Amino acid sequence: MSYALEIEGLEKVYANGLQALKGIDLRVAQGDFFALLGPNGAGKSTTIGVICSLVNKTAGTVRVNDVDIDEDFPRAKRHLGVVPQEFNFNVFESVEDILIHQAGYYGIPLKIARERIDTYLAKLGLTDKRHTRARMLSGGMKRRLMIARALIHEPSVLILDEPTAGVDIEMRRSMYDFLREINAAGTTIILTTHYLEEAESLCRNIAIINHGEIVTNTSIKNLLRELHRETFILDSRRALPDELTVSGFELTRIDDYCLEAHIEQGQDLAELMSQLHGQGISILSMRNRENRLEQMFVSLLEQAS
Amino acid sequence: MSPYEQWVALLTLMRKEIRRYTRIWSQTLLPSAITMSLYFLIFGSLIGSRIGEMGGVSYMEFVVPGLIMMAIVTNSYANVVSSFFGSKFNNSIEELLVSPTPNHIVLLGFVSGGVSRGMLVAVIVTIVASLFVELNIHSYAVVVAVVTLTSILFSLCGLINAVFANTFDDINIVPTFVLTPLTYLGGVFYSLELLPDFWATVSQANPLVYVVNAFRFGMLGVSDVSVGFAFAMIGAFTLVAYLYAAHLLRTGRRLRT
């Protein structure tokens, strides 16, 4: 099987002695939508830095679409588009100039660059900002500009480091749609994020990194399957009775109209509904108390440490 | 990258660099014209008329090549040091680092920005000088060769300074404490013949001596040092600066963590 990204035994020790990566192994299949999660300082940005040549690795190998970065980094770089966490463009340049320059650094002639700029600015809702200086853009627009810049040479692997930080909900949703669209068109996407629901809704596979080590690397489905207990909030149509007896389930009354139900793996929700209905309680709506992935994330990190 | 793609990358960098300093021409091109006008007026015209001849020519004619060269040195250096450090400071240097653009193209792109600004300022200062004294060119080939090599050398030095600089103060230390003294002690305003033997020998280690004298030879046909030796020294300094700058980019020192 051919991988978009293969990392073996990757280590990074900074000059101050900090061991940021302790021999991580990671494989991302071509066409995947992959999430790299971890708390601050876990090694996510260092990993991305090594892949895109901003960080010199201490040991290990990295291959992008079968191209070893130690053997032919320029060719590996052609496959990669990177959207870093921090804004890294000259804010005194116009949006168009930033994109033309980036295209030029990949050897793309001006005529083709302008055509691609038309396309990506339209897709990312920045067409009317084409001649605006970057410093005049809002935070969300700057982030979209960085996505357009990362795509200007049409890479097969797009790496996004916290792409939706500081982006409002509406813009975040349109960004999700755009990322799904380019992933469906064949681009492998690897993202790091603090929004765990983002990973859950966008990604198929996930790796969790902590203290420079991969804690888990599996599919989102498998990860969620490992959840043993979930908490639901149930909203009742009418006020709850003072005495509530439900056997086999752990319930907590929040207020007169609201219940918290703790469901263990294997327990039947229909059975709970049936018992509540038997006591004259009609459930109007039901939702997860907290993000399921977040629960798993916290428990994995606790186990690891 | 194919040769054509490298050419596109180089043109992109050159266009970006040239647009950068022409957009702020009042900060990059105009000051040299004003400063040099004052030098020509004070040292050449007012004081120079009382000094008489130096090196077999009038003092005004003697200082013009040195002052033109001073403008080339400071502008080619300043252009690259501020542009490259600015890119480091706002992290836009990462746009280049993550791209497949080879290091020699990065080097060539930044250097060509410095060279073009150095040459443009040289033309401006020469026009200003022609208002004060009648200019003659002894050897166009020598003039062009010295201007080109010098602006390359000091553009490279600017890039090396920018790589090591951590703050904007750091990019002013070398021009203030190294470049300006070397320029003043490089024979811009006096002939090395005026120095005691010891200091004349010490001056041989100053690259500005070769730059100024080779250029003076190109314009006036007079020089304190052998022109062939001056070219050899400028060439050697340029080669060393190029190799060191290329080494810094290859290893990513101060650019990659």
Is the predicted pLDDT of residue A184 greater than 60, yes or no? Answer: yes
Q: Which of A205, A208, A209, A199 is nearest to A222 (CA)?
A: A205
Question: Which residues of A are less than 8 Å from B98 in CB distance?
Answer: 52-54, 77, 80, 82
The confidence score (pLDDT) of residue B232 equals 93
pTM: 0.83
Q: Which residues of A touch B88 (CB under 8 A)?
A: none
DSSP strand pairing (A188-192 vs A33-37) = parallel
Q: How far is A35 from chain B (nearest CA, A)?
A: 21
Quote the pLDDT of residue A295: 64
The pLDDT-based confidence of B244 (bands split at 50, 70, 90) is: very high
Residue B256, token pair as written in the block: 């990659």
Question: Shortest CA distance to B68 belongs to which of B119, B126, B28?
Answer: B126
Q: Which residues pair with A233 in a beta bridge?
A: A260, A287
Tokens 């980094």 identify what position? Answer: A73
**Are residues A101 and B12, on separate chains, in Cβ contact within 8 Å?**
yes
Residues of A in contact with B13 (CB under 8 A): 104-105
Q: How large is the angle between the packed helices B140-164 and B103-129, nearest 10 degrees?
A: 130
Pairwise CB contact (< 8 Å): A105 & B256: no
Q: Which residues of B touch A (CB under 8 A)?
A: 1-2, 4-6, 8-9, 11-13, 15-16, 86-87, 90-92, 94-102, 252, 256-257
Contacts of B6 in chain A (CB under 8 A): 107
Q: Is A65 on the interface with B (CB under 8 A)?
A: no
Read off the pLDDT band of A292 (50, 70, 90): low
- How close is the nearest chain A Cα to the Cα of B250, in Å? 11
Whose tokens are 């939508």? That residue is: A33
Contact list in A for residue B94 (CB cut-off 8 A) is 54, 84, 88
Of A88, A108, A109, the CB nearest to B91: A88
* DSSP class per residue in chain B: --HHHHHHHHHHHHHHHHHHHHHTHHHHTHHHHHHHHHHIIIIIIIIHHHH-EETTEEHHHHHHHHHHHHHHHHHHHHHHHHHHHHHHHTTTHHHHHTS---HHHHHHHHHHHHHHHHHHHHHHHHHHHTTTS----S-HHHHHHHHHHHHHHHHHHHHHHHHH--STTHHHHHIIIIIHHHHHTTTSSS-GGGS-HHHHHHGGG-HHHHHHHHHHHHHHS--SS-HHHHHHHHHHHHHHHHHHHHHHHHHTTTT--
Give the residue from chain B lying closest to A12, CA to CA. B257
Mean pLDDT for chain A overall: 87
Mutation target to probe the B interface, by most B beta carbons within 10 A, among A105, A112, A117 is A105
Least CB-CB distance to A55: which of B2, B91, B256? B256
Mean pLDDT of A37-56: 89
How confident is the model over B234-257, as a mean pLDDT?
91
Distance CA B165, CA B83 (A): 12
pLDDT in tens, A106-137: 999 999 999 999 999 998 889 999 999 999 99
Q: What is the pLDDT of residues A20-38, one digit of tens each?
A: 999 999 999 999 999 998 8
Q: For B37-81, write each residue's pLDDT tens digit.
A: 888 888 777 887 788 777 778 888 888 888 899 999 999 999 999
CA-CA distance, B137 to B155, in Å (whole number)? 25
The stretch A220-224 carries a mean pLDDT of 80
Q: What is the pLDDT of residue B60?
A: 84
| pLDDT above 90 (res A7) | yes
Does the structure show a pLDDT above 70 at A251? yes
Asked if A107's CB is within 8 angstroms of B4's CB, the reply is yes
**In this structure, are strands A213-219 and A80-83 parallel, antiparallel, or unpaired?**
unpaired
Q: What is the mean pLDDT of residues A53-58?
A: 92
Identify which of A56, A74, A88 has the shortest CB distance to residue B95. A88
Q: How many CB pairs under 8 A join A and B?
A: 83
B98: nearest CB among A52, A91, A97: A52
Rg of chain B over Cα atoms, rounded to whole angstroms, equals 19
What are the tokens at A18? 């900090």
| CA closest to B109 among chain A residues | A105
